[in-house]
Amino acid sequence: MARCDDSFDIIVAGAGPVGLSFAASLAESDLKVAVVEQQALESLAKPAFDGREIALTFASISILRELGAWDAIPAGQKSPVQGARVLNGSSPFALCFDPPRGSAEPLGFLVPNCRIRDALFKIIRTHHRVQLLCGHSVVGVTNSRKGAVVKLSDGRRLTARLFVAADSRLSRTRDLLGIAADINRLGSSMVICRVRHERAHHQLAIEWFDHHQTIAILPLMEGESSLLLTLRANEANRLLALDDDLFLIELTDRCRGRLGKMTLASKRHIYPLVTTWAHSFWAQSAALVGDAAVGMHPVTAHGFNIGLGGQQQLAHGILTAIRKGHDIADPDMLHRYESCLRLSAAPLYHATNLIVGLYSGEHAAARFARHVGLRLAQYFPFVRHGISAMLRR
């Protein structure tokens, strides 16, 4: 390989929660790891609230606990979800998902995205073998069986035995690696905010597929919820532009008074909805993790859980290769990583897309099909119990 300024064992592009988790998973090894992040160090050290509440399964909580991140998150930032309800239009019927009978544990927990990032960042800062290169972006990658040469926006050239893309679902580094992806821009956006409300939420999450909109109500502390409203992009932008009073009036009307009187408890945030599925999760001396590999629709709230589990699989493969004296970019290991991730992610990814297609349709056949589907799911316990078990994995 050509002579470069800096040499690492692994270079990670992206210091989001999955990229930081991956670096933390390797931090106890002797590997020299660099994490390249476009944001300034100050932004990583004090991540701003971005509206997103992450629904964590117990498997994800276990991973975060092993990394030391779960206990670093304040208890008051962990909101238990005791059950979930799925509603369809104006029908009073609700498909119910609850913990197993006799279980004292909730379905999962909601934690602000910024608190997860903050906990992982603090862990990374304690490990001298992990170097954060902030304020820079990756503008070039040359990968071969000998390793990867990575060019940064400031002109620096880095070398690594393995390059890992963890930047985003519209991953620039995935493109630089020549890996194609199915990218579906849905033409919808999600408006998110926290609200205080007069009616109790009883720690129940609600997914409401209403006509021309989808509303998710996620229970936080008592009397407060995160409200997610999915609309066509132009309608979402119109709603975002309203002043607070008009926004709350329309929000209350759209929720049909379900939460009672509401007041804003945070700023409003908007996110265009895009799903992605990479055609390959690895290339020579390179791998994809998180949204760069699989960008899920948020309706099932499983995107981060898949990304967190995927980075653990890749880190485990790397650490196993080291113990066996193998190359950390061994193609067989990377192929096994891809196979495991596809096996776990594909059913959820494709089922979620089917659900979104069914529940966003407004023609009479689609309305009838989702009404019947919810009824059948309620009266076939193995369906409800299977989904509940999936939510807890």
Asked if 248 contacts 264 with a C-beta cutoff of 8 angstroms, the reply is yes
| CB within 8 Å of 42: residues ≥ 6 apart | none
Look at residue 383 in the predicted model and tell me its pLDDT. Answer: 41
Tell me the pLDDT band of 2, cut-offs 50, 70 and 90: very low
Q: Residue 216's beta-bridge partner residues?
A: 207, 228
SS3 (DSSP) at 164? strand
Per-residue pLDDT tens digits for 176-224: 999 999 999 999 999 999 999 999 999 999 988 888 899 999 999 999 9
What radius of gyration do the chain's Cα atoms show?
22
Per-residue pLDDT tens digits for 104-127: 789 899 999 999 999 999 999 999
Q: Measure the CA angle with vertex 380, ends 375 and 386; round to 5°.
A: 110
For residue 308, pLDDT beyond 80: yes
For residue 269, pLDDT beyond 50: yes
Look at residue 370 in the predicted model and tell me its pLDDT. Answer: 54
Tell which wins on pLDDT, 89 or 393.
89
> CA 349 → CA 298, 311, 345, 355, distances in Å?
10, 17, 6, 10
SS3 (DSSP) at 6? strand
**Mean of all residue pLDDT scores within the chain:** 89
Tell me the pLDDT band of 148, cut-offs 50, 70 and 90: very high
Tell which wins on pLDDT, 119 or 359.
119
Predicted model pTM: 0.89
The 3-class SS string of the chain reads CCCCCEEEEEEEECCCHHHHHHHHHCCCCCCCEEEEECCCHHHHHCCCCCCCEEEECHHHHHHHHHHCCCCCCCHHHCEEECEEEEEECCCCCEEEECCCCCCCCCCEEEEEHHHHHHHHHHHHHCCCCEEEEECCCEEEEEEECCEEEEEECCCCEEEEEEEEECCCCCCHHHHHCCCCEEEEEEEEEEEEEEEEECCCCCCEEEEEEECCEEEEEEECCCCEEEEEEEEEHHHHHHHHHCCHHHHHHHHHHHCCCCCCCEEECCCCEEEEEEEEEECCCEECCEEECHHHCEECCHHHCCHHHHHHHHHHHHHHHHHHHHHCCCCCCCHHHHHHHHHHHHHHHHHHHHHHHHHHHHHHCCCHHHHHHHHHHHHHHHHCHHHHHHHHHHHHC
Per-residue pLDDT tens digits for 72-100: 999 999 999 999 888 887 776 677 877 77
